[in-house]
Amino acid sequence: MTLQTIKTHAVHGGTLRYLRHDSATTGTPMTLSVFTPPGEGPFPVLIWLSGLTCTEDNFTTKAGAYAAAAEQGVIIVAPDTSPRGEGVADDPAYDLGQGAGFYVDAIEAPWAEHFRMESYVTGELIGLIDAEFPTTKARSISGHSMGGHGALTLALRHPHLFRSVSAFAPITSPTRCPWGEKAFTAYLGEDQEVWAEHDAARLIEAGVGGGCYDDILIDQGDADPFLMDQLKPDLLVAAAEAAGQRVTLRMQPGYDHSYFFMASFIGDHVAFHAERLKA
Residues with a catalytic annotation lie at: 145, 224, 257
As a whole number of angstroms, the distance between CA 138 and CA 174 comes to 28
C-beta of residue 2 within 8 angstroms of C-beta of residue 132: yes
As a whole number of angstroms, the distance between CA 177 and CA 244 comes to 24
As a whole number of angstroms, the distance between CA 33 and CA 249 comes to 28
Residues 6+ away with beta carbon under 8 Å from 255: 221, 222, 223, 224, 261, 264
Closest CA relative to residue 154, chosen from 139, 134, 136: 139
C-beta of residue 67 within 8 angstroms of C-beta of residue 160: no
C-beta of residue 38 within 8 angstroms of C-beta of residue 71: no
b/e per residue, 194-215, with b = 16+ CB within 10 A?
ebbbbbbbbbbbeebbbebbee
For residue 155, what are the CA distances in angstroms to 88, 118, 249? Answer: 27, 11, 17
